[in-house]
Amino acid sequence: MVAFVLLGCALVLIAGVEWPRVSAKIGSDARAGRKRARRKEALTVIEGDAGREDDFQASVERDLANLPVLEESDDDRSHLQ
C-alpha cells in the first residue's frame, strides 16, 4: 500500500516538473505560435527595383539643391548684443 502512495507521489512530482515543457508544446501559446508560423509561411518577399532607389536619391538631391542658403552677411546677429 505504501508503495502505491510513493508511486503516486512520484508521478505527481514528475508531472509537476515536466508541466512547463509539456504546456509549451500543447498549450494555447504553442497553438498561437503554430498559427503565426503558418501565416508567416504564406508571406512572400518582394524585391524592390533599383530604379526607384535612384529616383528617390535624385529627388532628395534636387530638394537639397533647392533649399535657400543664408549668406554670412545675411546672418549678422552682432547688432543684437
- Region 6-25: what's the mean pLDDT? 90
Q: With 90 as the cut, is the pLDDT of residue 5 above it?
A: yes
- Region 47-55: what's the mean pLDDT? 72
Positive or negative, the Cα torsion across 26, 32, 36, 39? positive
Distance between CA atoms of residues 43 and 2, nearest Å: 58
Which residues are within 8 A (CB) of 30 and not within 5 positions of it... i.e. 6 or more apart? 23, 24
Provide the mean pLDDT of the chain. 84
Q: With 90 as the cut, is the pLDDT of residue 54 above it?
A: no
Distance between CA atoms of residues 24 and 34, nearest Å: 11
Helix (H, G, I), strand (E, B) or coil at 66: coil
Taking the complete model, does pTM exceed 0.75, yes or no?
no
Q: With 70 as the cut, is the pLDDT of residue 9 above it?
A: yes
